[in-house]
Chains A and B, each alone.
Chain A
Amino acid sequence: MITEPKNQGASIKRITMPGSVVGGAPPAYRVIDAIRRNEPSTPEVHDTLDREEAVVEMKNFCLWYGSTQALFEISMKISRGKVTALIGPSGCGKSTLLRSVNRLNDLVDGVRVRGGMLLNSDPIYAPHVDVIDLRKRLGMVFQKPNPFPMSIFENVIYPLRVDGERRRGVLKDAAERCLKSAALWDEVKDRLDESALGLSGGQQQRLCIARAIVAEPEVLLLDEPCSALDPIATLRIEELIHEISERYTVLIVTHNMQQAARVSDFTALMYLGRLVEYGRTADIFQNPRLRETEDYVTGRFG
């Protein structure tokens, strides 16, 4: 099943343009230069976002690993039912931001946060929040496929198991439904009891996606889900993201401009822990407001 990529055409045209400026003075960037000089900067957030309903909302969110600050005053809204892509150079804090949403950063010693982070307008970082409950409402897929050393079936239904579900019928139905959603059912339906570690890398990643959606999460967090896969597997995952985006809100981190262009509705560019520009993917790729954004998405910068 081949699906139409969103924002087809325009983005690809631009990216394939052979285009780094050779020689000449480095161009002046408004936001990024301010960030580099460590001055306060205002990110370009397009007003197209105002019409959207936010499922996750960050308000001046800051995060420190010990004494080093990794996120600076991030304010953004993740639109319900849409795919939002986070792009930016390595180490700019994309993963950190993603992991702040389900509080996976709490596992790291010495993490401190400040500012607001709301899920359905409930604060995520309030003291009374049950983190376990919170994480049950969010699904996460990691950069490297990390199926657990157990059977395929047990892998898929793991979130239900830890939630105390024991009814065999419920578990079976859930496993079938999610494996079908993850386009894995036909490949594994005869070997559900075999170890998940025997699957190929792409299959493992789809299994992880199935696992992430089995508990009907409100937001699906994907951290570079294709970076460890070959092109064909990548393509399948992208199709999959496209399909499940009809039912879930997806927040995806990616390194790959084309991927962001293909799968996402909104795109946010980050740089050194700050938000730079955030808007509809078509706008970001076709007529960004900032010069640095244009240079970044065309590969002339970064």
Chain B
Amino acid sequence: MTARGEPAVWLMGLALTVSLVAIALLVGLVAYEGARTFWPRPIHLVTLADRATDAPGAAFLGLPMKEEAYDPGDEAAAEIEALRQRGALPEGSLDADGRPLRRQYRVGNRELTGVPFRWVPLYEIASVETPPSAVLLERWAWGVWVGTPRALLLQDEIEVPKDQPIVEEEWIEAAGGRSVRVTRREIEGPAGEGMRRVRERRYLAEATPEDPEGWRRVWDAFLASHGVASARLAQIRSLSRYDMGRVNDRINDATIEILRAKQEALKAADGSRRRAGWGLWSVIAVSAFGAVCGAFALGRKARALEFSRPKFVVWPRAAWCVAALLLLAAWTERPWGESVMTPQRLAEVIGEQESMIAGLQREYAEVESRIRELESQDARERVEFVQADGRFAPVSQSSLDEPMRVSQVVRAVKPNGGSTGEAVGVYLARWGEFLSGDPRDANTEGGVFPVIFGTVMMTMLLSIIVVPFGIVAALYLREYARQGAVTSILRIAINNLAGVPSIVFGMFGLAFFCVTVGKYIDRGPEAPIERGGWWWLAAGAAILVAGALVMAVMARPAPGCSPQRRHAMMGWAVSILWVAAAALAVYLVARTPYFDGFFSAKPGPTFGTRGILWASLTLALLTLPVVIVATEEAVAAVPRSMREGSYGCGASKWQTIRRIVLPGAMPGIMTGMILAMARGAGEVAPLMFVGAMKQAPKLPVSLDWPFLHAERSFMHLGFHIYDLGFQAPDSEAARPLVWTTTLLLLAIVVFLNLSAILIRARLRAKNRGSAV
């Protein structure tokens, strides 16, 4: 039996089963917990037994969450024992082992009760009812409120002459022949000469103790006014967020424009940054023109002589590149540009911008007054939802005597006695809000749309960055580099990179991308070198590059030759020259006197802080090894016969790679990309350093130029889960949402992977053909 290896097979089967079960458990648990969060639960009106008299005592409204057996203290145990002896122990309050049970209720109403959850031992409960009037209010802030509708009212603050008495309560005739109750009370507050400030409440609908069904009228009236109030609130928000925001941004821009002009003026006065003269630039322009013409002539001649074409198409292209670079350099100097910032010009610019700011400020005031108008209407409409002890939901924790505004409610759910259809409706509506809405109430309520958006966008950016780099690196390693000690060491290094803890990448990203590179983009080099010296160094770099090119051509094996024919010493020299040229180029860029940063006039950092670009770059670095290894394997797996066929057709190495090897390796490269995406989407630790925020003020994409704002911070599902689970003001209440968000993260990763897998399958099918 051992010889046949049966036990080994069993063991393997067992191991496979265990892992499958573990995965199924994980997915099942997340799916179950995540899916049920939004299902509406009933609301219990719990009446507690008064321990002394066994008579009904205090009552509260709450949503039952879960039940469990617990260890009562000695005192409670004695009490239970006493109750049992009296025969007054409620049925079902002990479990099968005789241990007492307790139930967790979500009671909400945080501003009054302090704790939104409450454990109640079952033996203490005198009765549980599910009153149809019980309502769960989801609010913009302060969590949920559980209560019954009592009144819908209009609240005004009016001024009454001091000598006129205040009628505290009266019934007045309203439209439709109904009479409504009005109450008035003097309050503190600013009032005119000889006047006093009075708060007047006009009860449009009211439930009274004498009228047990009165709450229905209030509920219907509330629903009607809630729609209007929500729309108004949305309008207020849009005004303050978009209209005001836009005006604000433009004022900021104008201010920055002034600062920039002042900076320029300072520089001009300094005189140390004079431009190179026209003469130099004419020479450069003429030589660029000459390069292009020469290359064209060469190309045409080559064609006329029927040389093989591709070689000679390279020259015009290279000449174009040279010309473009020269033009870029000329543009940075702008010999034709406007004259330097003279004091007159400075004054002009300042005057222009300031008049613009004044206009913008008027616009701002207009929007503001419009908002104030809507606000005052919003403040009038109030609603009273009372908890079991009769206290209503206050407008804020600091003014408990004022009922809340209608618009403070996001959604009101009346679960008791409702049909399944209604429950499904609520469930779907909550999911809809979750997927498309913004988070609110310190992320513990509302939606996660910006979070989904940030996650997906970061993952996309990351794969757009990592795949080309990975492909280039892998191609060089596998196809061009001479296989030997150096490539082995490089491979080992790359594989080790994959094992570096991700937090290390986070630290690196923060230190390098955010602080160093970002600051450079914002402010330019810290200590630029002098212009003359810079050009000398640039010339040196050009010589190094030219030398490296010439030596590379000399060291190059004859095309199609085995790498062994390469001149090894020359190869080393070329490598050293390249490294030196690259180092010099980096130095030149880092200390260039021609760049002052894109945002040097702006007070705060723009790119010099955490942002989605830096996060994507950091994760690209983190996932680079995965892509490189996958690409290398895929490239190595392209059959030899394909390459030989291509070489046999007279293709060069590059053509073979471009047309045969890369397309053939594409499915494998896609596999690498899938792995990179999955890893990137699920990573949290490095993101906390380089860009993920608890709350990002704006999406990284907008309709404003340049549409993609790569410098903005973003929200990420992984970080969001961590934040909900550990940083929320009360994590108990956020727990269900943690599950749902986890489910969502899982779904997004699966979705991204599935789409990549689909693309890969299509590519594979294309490469394989239908039949042979």
Contact = CB atoms under 8 A, between A and B. Distances in A.
Interface of A: 102-104, 106-111, 127, 129-133, 135-136, 138-140, 142, 144, 146, 148-150, 158-159, 161-165, 195-201, 204, 208, 211-212, 215
Nearest to A215: B650
Contacts of B652: 132, 162
A163 B309 contact: yes
A109 B16 CA distance: 43
Contacts of B769: 149, 195-198
Interface stretch (B248-256, B515-523, B559-567): B559-567
Contacts of A142: 641, 644-645, 648
B766 A198 contact: no
Nearest to A214: B649
Given A146-B641, A146-B642, A198-B769, A130 B650 contact: no
A148 B641 contact: no
Contact of A132 (B560, B562, B564, B768): B560
A201 B772 CA distance: 6
Given A110-B564, A142-B648, A149-B767, 20 more contacts: A104-B648, A107-B560, A107-B562, A107-B644, A109-B563, A131-B558, A131-B559, A133-B650, A136-B649, A146-B644, A148-B642, A149-B769, A163-B309, A163-B310, A164-B308, A195-B766, A196-B769, A198-B771, A211-B649, A215-B650
A170 to B, nearest CB: 13
A128 to B, nearest CB: 9
B772 A200 contact: yes
B645 A159 contact: no
Contacts of A144: 641
B620 to A, nearest CB: 29
Nearest to A166: B309
B664 A149 contact: yes
Closest 6 CB pairs of A and B: A197-B769, A164-B309, A136-B650, A131-B560, A140-B648, A162-B651
B770 interface: yes
Nearest to B660: A148
A130 B559 contact: yes
A138 B648 CA distance: 8
A109 B564 contact: yes
Contact of A107 (B310, B647, B660, B772): B647
A240 B417 CA distance: 86
Give the most central of A107, A109, A196, A211: most B CB within 10 Å.
Answer: A107
A295 to B, nearest CB: 34
B655 A162 contact: yes
Give the most central of A135, A149, A208: most B CB within 10 Å.
Answer: A149
B313 interface: yes
User: Chain A at the B interface: mostly helix, strand, loop or mixed?
Assistant: mixed
Contacts, number: 122
B663 interface: yes
7 contacts: A110-B562, A127-B558, A130-B559, A149-B766, A161-B659, A163-B308, A198-B769
Contact of A130 (B308, B644, B646, B767): B308
Given A108-B562, A146-B642, A197 B650 contact: no
A115 B408 CA distance: 94
A109 B483 CA distance: 11
Nearest to B769: A197
A136 B646 CA distance: 11
A224 to B, nearest CB: 13
B770 A197 contact: yes
A130 B558 CA distance: 7
Given A106-B562, A130-B308, A150-B663, A162 B767 contact: no
Interface string B740-772: 000000000000000000000000001111111
Interface string B634-668: 00000101111111111110010001100110000
A68 to B, nearest CB: 16
Interface string B308-319: 111001000000
B54 to A, nearest CB: 85
Interface string B290-313: 000000000000000000111001
A40 B726 CA distance: 87
B772 A197 contact: yes
Contact of A133 (B308, B561, B648): B308
A296 B345 CA distance: 99
B645 A208 contact: yes
A159 B650 contact: yes
Contact of B648 (A108, A135, A164): A135
B303 to A, nearest CB: 9
A132 B650 CA distance: 5
Give the most central of B562, B645, B652: most A CB within 10 Å.
Answer: B645
A162 B310 contact: yes
Contacts of B772: 197, 199-201, 204
B330 to A, nearest CB: 33
A1 B648 CA distance: 30
Contacts of A104: 644, 647-648
A146 B656 CA distance: 14
A138 B560 CA distance: 14
A102 B663 contact: no
A164 B562 contact: no
Nearest to A158: B649
A25 B639 CA distance: 47
B310 A164 contact: yes
A136 B647 contact: no
Contacts of A195: 766, 769-770
A66 to B, nearest CB: 10
A158 B646 contact: yes
A201 B663 CA distance: 22
B688 to A, nearest CB: 44
A197 B313 CA distance: 32
A195 B663 CA distance: 13
Nearest to A211: B649
Contacts of A148: 642, 645-646, 659-660
B203 to A, nearest CB: 78
B650 A162 contact: yes
Contacts of B564: 109-110
A122 to B, nearest CB: 15
Give the most central of B558, B648, B768, B772: most A CB within 10 Å.
Answer: B648
A130 B309 CA distance: 13
A238 to B, nearest CB: 21
Contacts of A135: 560, 647-650
B770 A102 contact: no
Nearest to B313: A164
A164 B307 CA distance: 11
Contacts of A164: 308-310, 313
A195 B559 CA distance: 30
Contacts of B309: 163-165
A163 B650 contact: yes
